[in-house]
């Protein structure tokens, strides 16, 4: 047995064992969280149950350890029955979205390869096409897709009266983001090939399609998050819709069961992806390298330095706007004028007013400030820990054998455990346990601080994963530690964008910053949807602002990585996993 074969077999055994450890520790973590539910939340749950005559269960014990965790707190039904009845729908939507995303990514990459062949000369045209590719891909992979959905699907549908199948709509909604993440990853793969990519050559797709398929399986966490949002928007009764309904009612036993179901799905699919990747690398990589060696030189997608400067200036512009909001906002964010309700843009209100007569431009500025500053606080809490964690992993990876691989995987095991939970499911779980019940007299700071800490916890393993992805694909000639240091500015921008993504998403579904404080995600839901025909600016401007903010941050990070020569284009996708 060769050393390479031995290393592959050990890697297979290690992946299986680590997946088992992740499941075991995740289950123990959920079991431990059962005892952390505060009495205040249970008391309010009991008060709500007394007002609901349909609930067959009686008063709930204040000691959550005494509950029957096999049954719903509200209906009394076995949680296995409820989860089992909805699991098939959710898995079906995830599978449909995955297949559509793979087909879409292959089509977009095919078109991109053709355009790349045409725009190789002159040099200015090649650089222009590279900038356009960066803008398009960064916008598609960064913006929360409920914002894109508002701009591209919901508003046109409401205005024109379009109707469509709920299942097809959900599948398309789930497929869009993974498709563009695969396109981003595929561009990175193509740029690293030793030959020019020929769009009609069979060996191009024999190498690209397996890589995209493996990458898609690793994006199962992102697909799960999008499925939760899609089921809610399309009113499909699957695990995702039931999850948000359960959070609203604080049915803790059912909530824990659904989160555990998502963990099992994510861990098993990622294990399958790892095993397929090892098999592909062992038995097919040599053939692909030989075939690729006969292809001409690959195209260069380099980004000029002046465009990187433009991106960083835009980041600085948003930062200054957030800091100076109290000075530049023409009105207070909660200043109402009943006589100015639902006014279109005018000289007095440049972006119009909302249903309570509040100036939308001022509310957008304060919402922008809220998202940026809270996300910056969450990143500051965890980023130093993430950097140190990744540098230790890089240090042990210097021993390039199965022992170094094993120690590195063990060091990053806590991150794998946290990433086994789809980030939205874990955020909702922790927010429900440690959040503030409705009607609570707690102050704004007391209610928001738990949310910031939860988002910091979610960011920690993903920030370390981004840095790890960077040092695994360094620029030519760079060592591990130099790669770690070079990747930090881009990782920081990505982490900040990730914090804003989490903040806006949880606000959009109603569990974020409490009103009346504006936040970009919450501005997109509720009244913005109800008044979409009478006042479309209430939904369009927050959606456009969120899309632009995320685009600027992710595009700046991507431009930094390209200018520094990092080979991987999958770094930002770690924030979705």
Q: For 335-363, how does the pLDDT look when each residue is reduced to its tens digit (9 = 90+)?
A: 888 888 888 888 888 998 888 889 999 99
Q: Report the length, in residues, of the chain.
A: 577
pLDDT of residue 439: 47
Give the Cα separation of 469 and 481 in Å (integer).
13
Lookup result for tokens 């040099």:
123
pLDDT of residue 302: 65
pLDDT of residue 419: 92
Q: Fill in the DSSP letter of residue 477.
A: T
Residue 323 tokens read as 């800091």
Domain boundaries, the chain: 3-36+68-575
Q: Are 80 and 257 in contact (CB under 8 A)?
A: yes
C-alpha Rg value of the chain to the nearest Å: 24
Residue 270 tokens read as 């990622």
Give the Cα separation of 487 and 39 in Å (integer).
44
Question: Which backbone phi and psi does 57 adopt, to 5 degrees?
Answer: -90, 155
pLDDT of residue 170: 76
What's the pLDDT tens digit per position in 74-99?
A: 888 899 999 999 999 899 999 999 99
What parts of the chain have a pLDDT lower than 70?
1, 52-58, 117-126, 149-167, 194-200, 234, 284-302, 399-400, 435-446, 476-478
Give the Cα separation of 343 and 524 in Å (integer).
18
Residue 464 tokens read as 């370390």
Give the Cα separation of 240 and 235 in Å (integer).
10
Smallest CA-to-CA distance from 94 within 296, 236, 198, 306 is with 236
What is the longest distance spanned by two Cα atoms in the chain?
82
* CA atoms within 13 A of residue 507's CA, in its CB half-sphere: 30
pLDDT of residue 420: 93
359 forms beta bridges with 353
């Amino acid at each position: 047995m060769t050393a390479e074969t031995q290393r592959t077999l050990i890697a297979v055994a290690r992946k299986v064992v680590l997946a088992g450890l992740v499941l075991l520790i995740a289950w123990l973590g959920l079991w431990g969280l059962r005892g952390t539910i505060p009495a205040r939340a249970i008391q309010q749950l009991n008060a709500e149950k007394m007002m609901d005559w349909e609930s067959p269960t009686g008063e709930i014990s204040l000691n959550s350890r005494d509950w029957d965790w096999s049954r719903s707190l509200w209906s009394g039904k076995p949680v296995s029955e409820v989860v089992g009845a909805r699991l098939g729908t959710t898995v079906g939507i995830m599978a449909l979205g995955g297949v559509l995303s793979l087909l879409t990514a292959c089509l977009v990459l095919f078109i991109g390869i053709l355009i790349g062949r045409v725009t190789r000369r002159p040099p200015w045209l090649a650089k222009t096409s590279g900038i356009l590719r960066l803008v398009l891909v960064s916008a598609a992979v960064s913006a929360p897709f409920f914002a894109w959905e508002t701009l591209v699907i919901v508003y046109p549908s409401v205005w024109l009266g379009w109707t469509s199948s709920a299942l097809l709509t959900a599948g398309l909604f789930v497929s869009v983001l993974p498709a563009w993440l695969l396109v981003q990853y595929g561009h990175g793969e193509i740029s690293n090939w030793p030959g020019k990519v020929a769009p009609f050559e069979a060996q191009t797709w024999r190498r690209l399609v397996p890589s995209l398929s493996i990458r898609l399986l690793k994006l199962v966490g992102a697909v799960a998050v999008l499925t939760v949002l899609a089921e809610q928007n399309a009113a499909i009764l699957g695990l995702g819709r039931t999850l948000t309904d359960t959070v609203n009612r604080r049915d803790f036993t059912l909530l824990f069961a659904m989160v555990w179901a998502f963990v099992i799905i994510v861990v098993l699919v990622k294990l399958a992806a790892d095993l397929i990747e090892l098999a592909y690398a062992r038995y097919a990589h040599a053939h692909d390298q030989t075939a690729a060696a006969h292809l001409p030189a690959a195209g260069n997608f380099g980004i000029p330095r002046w465009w990187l400067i433009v991106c960083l200036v835009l980041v600085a512009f948003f930062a200054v706007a957030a800091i100076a909001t109290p000075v530049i906002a023409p009105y207070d964010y909660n200043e109402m004028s009943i006589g100015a309700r639902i006014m279109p843009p005018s000289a007095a209100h440049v972006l119009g007013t909302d249903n309570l007569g509040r100036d939308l431009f001022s509310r957008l500025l304060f919402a922008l400030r809220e998202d940026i500053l809270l996300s910056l606080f969450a990143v500051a809490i965890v980023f130093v820990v993430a950097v140190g964690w990744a540098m230790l992993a890089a240090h042990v990876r210097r021993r390039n054998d199965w022992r170094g691989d094993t120690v590195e995987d063990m060091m990053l095991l806590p991150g794998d455990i946290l990433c086994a939970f789809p980030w939205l499911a874990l955020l909702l779980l922790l927010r429900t346990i440690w959040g503030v019940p409705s009607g609570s007299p707690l102050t704004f700071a007391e209610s928001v601080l738990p949310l910031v800490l939860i988002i910091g916890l979610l960011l920690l393993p993903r920030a370390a994963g981004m840095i790890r992805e960077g040092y695994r694909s360094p620029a030519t000639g760079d060592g591990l530690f130099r790669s770690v240091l070079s990747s930090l500015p881009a990782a920081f921008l990505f982490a900040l964008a990730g914090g804003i993504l989490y903040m806006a998403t949880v606000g959009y579904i109603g569990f974020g910053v409490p009103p009346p404080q504006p936040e970009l995600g919450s501005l997109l839901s509720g009244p913005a949807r109800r008044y979409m025909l009478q006042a479309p600016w209430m939904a369009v401007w927050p959606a456009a602002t969120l899309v632009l903010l995320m685009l600027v941050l992710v595009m700046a990070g991507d431009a930094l990585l390209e200018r520094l020569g990092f080979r991987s284009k999958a770094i930002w996708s770690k924030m979705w996993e």
